[in-house]
Amino acid sequence: MMRSRWWSFGFRSTIMLYFIVLIVLPIIGIYSQSLSLGWLPFWESITDPLAWKAVWLTLKLAILATVINVLLGTMIGWVLIRYRFPGRRLLNSLVDLPFALPTAVGGLMILLLLGPNSLVGGLAEKLGTEIVFHEPSIIIAMVFVTFPFVIRAVQPLLEELDKSEEEASYTLGASKAKTFFQVIFPSMLPGILSGAMLAFSRALAEFGAVVLVAGNIPGKTLIAAVYIFGEIESDNTQGAAAVSVLLLTLSFLILWAVNLVQSRRLGK
């Protein structure tokens, strides 16, 4: 009995130590580093024109990427659950590919497929549009690395959906569109919201895929993660930490919102 208690105590202590060393201490370190020189340098760092433009560009493009992911992810999740077709299992397994690939490899793929020397890139240039080293390539990179979130959040809800409610709606004379928006969509909404928030949070922090395709022009295509990396290379760790705190705080708020959505769903 005593041995079992000691084993349980040791296991809990190991988990708590792991949590403190790998999560709590780095977070405390970032916040303390950002304020190491006081509030005034912190404020000057986050209000620097280049820093603010990088953060604003990141927010704007992350929102656009999230909207695209919500639309595509909801449709793909629906098709994978509701339809049976050749290659469905392969397609379902490929959904998680962005999680398995190094993000730099994803950026290189985009560069090779959409760059100036590619077929798509060449056609875009003839039409007067440039993809790589401009905002469209950043959005594509963000969509690629966050692609699975909405799909994987929606699929379990569709699998758990009671078919009898849908059949009852059809029996009462409701159209397919009305049934979808009044019966199916409300059940999918918690998954769509939580998946969207996770995708948005992930897009905010993306570095590897974006740095290869963005061009990193200050004030135009320089996103926050690349700006932070540049500040570290310039030996301005306080400035890098200050901008990191903005993204970290926003990620905390998103995480809290995701937990709130999931708890309300479980409460039902």
Mean pLDDT per 10-residue interval, the chain, length 268 residues: 59 75 77 79 84 90 93 91 87 87 86 83 80 88 91 88 74 76 82 88 87 83 88 85 86 79 62
Instruction: Please give the pLDDT value at position 143.
Output: 93
How far apart CA 65 and CA 142 sit, in angstroms, is 6
Give the count of beta carbons closer than 10 Å to the beta carbon of residue 186: 9
Instruction: Please give the pLDDT value at position 265.
Output: 59
The residues, ordered by sequence, that sit 6+ positions from 68 with a Cβ below 8 Å of its Cβ are 139, 143
Instruction: Please give the pLDDT value at position 142.
Output: 92
Burial of 152 (0-12, 13-18, 19+ CB in 10 A): middle
In 3-state terms, what secondary structure has residue 84? coil
Instruction: Please give the pLDDT value at position 69.
Output: 93
Signed CA dihedral, 202, 207, 213, 217: sign only: positive
Helices 119-126/103-114 angle, 10° precision: 50
Instruction: Please give the pLDDT value at position 6.
Output: 60
Instruction: Please give the pLDDT value at position 262.
Output: 67
**pTM here?**
0.83
Instruction: Please give the pLDDT value at position 64.
Output: 94
How far apart CA 116 and CA 94 sit, in angstroms, is 27
Q: What letter does residue 217 receive in the DSSP assignment?
A: -
Instruction: Please give the pLDDT value at position 26.
Output: 78
